[in-house]
């Protein structure tokens, strides 16, 4: 089976992008990172992608002013030019138009630093701490027109410690992000994910019954 061609869209640090690049180095991984696309010229992740020998494109959103549709159309043109099969948003800090998202049904993934559907949007770790959450984590989901709301492909949970600060919690969640994004992309690239009633099934099988206790008792 030929490997799926993946574009990773970034705006900043690019550590999830780096995790995807690392996973795709394995010749048995079902996807290759064919393009890294940034909306910011100074995204730190661009240097990592360049060092890995991956094609880079920058489309500065500021040049499009308030015209989100025109910015999205410019991105779509680049994705088509590179023959992209799957798009991975990885810290891509732009709202996308429904028209653009609609071009990529079940072929656009995002990683979000919370256990969705809790804590959509920004500042998730701070909000989880303030809310007194005992379990927090990360989610990889399909992108739909509604922000952070598409079917969830893989989640990882971490326990929240009594003495946790935002940075410590964020670091533990990020460690899990780097595990689950390559896993979720693998499952999608292998065509093993279906959506039924808004939930993902892997290989057509519902998840087995499982319970996680926090604290472990």
Per CB under 6 A, the list member of 13, 127, 179, 192 interacting with ligand GRF is 13
The pattern of x and - marking residues 132 through 171 that bind ligand GRF according to CB under 6 A reads ----------------------------------------
| Cβ 217 to ligand GRF shortest distance, Å | 30
Q: Does 126 interact with ligand GRF (rule: CB under 6 A)?
A: no
Beta strands in the chain (DSSP E): 4-10, 31-38, 56-58, 86-89, 108-112, 135-142, 152-159, 193-196, 199-202
Q: Does 14 interact with ligand GRF (rule: CB under 6 A)?
A: yes
Mark whether 112 is an active-site residue: yes
Q: Does 15 interact with ligand GRF (rule: CB under 6 A)?
A: yes
From CA 21, how far away is CA 169, in angstroms rounded? 24
Closer Cβ to ligand GRF, 13 or 120, answer by number: 13
Structure tokens at 117: 């559907």
Give residue for tokens 């999608």: 188
C-beta of residue 8 within 8 angstroms of C-beta of residue 26: no
* Choice among 61, 112, 125, 141 that is catalytic: 112
Q: What is the Cβ-side half-sphere exposure of residue 216, based on CA atoms within 13 angstroms?
A: 2
Residues that bind ligand GRF (CB under 6 A): 10, 12-17, 45, 90-91, 111-113, 174, 177
């Amino acid at each position: 089976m030929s490997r799926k061609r993946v574009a990773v869209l970034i705006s900043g640090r690019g550590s999830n992008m780096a995790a995807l690049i690392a996973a795709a180095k394995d010749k048995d991984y079902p996807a290759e990172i064919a393009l890294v696309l940034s909306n910011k010229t100074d995204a730190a992740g661009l240097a990592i992608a360049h060092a890995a020998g991956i094609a880079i494109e920058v489309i500065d959103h500021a040049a499009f002013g308030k015209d989100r549709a025109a910015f999205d159309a410019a991105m779509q043109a680049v994705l088509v030019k590179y023959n992209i099969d799957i798009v991975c948003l990885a810290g891509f800090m732009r709202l996308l138009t429904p028209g653009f998202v609609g071009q990529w049904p079940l072929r656009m993934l995002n990683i979000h630093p919370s256990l969705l559907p809790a804590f959509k949007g920004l500042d998730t770790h701070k909000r989880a701490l303030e809310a007194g959450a005992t379990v927090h984590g990360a989610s990889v989901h399909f992108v739909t027109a509604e922000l952070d709301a598409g079917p969830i492909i893989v989640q990882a949970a971490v326990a929240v410690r009594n003495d946790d600060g935002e940075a410590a919690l964020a670091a533990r969640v990020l460690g899990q992000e780097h595990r689950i994004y390559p896993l979720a992309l693998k499952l999608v690239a292998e065509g093993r994910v279906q959506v039924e009633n808004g939930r993902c099934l892997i290989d057509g099988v519902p998840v087995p019954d499982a319970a996680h206790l926090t604290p472990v008792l």
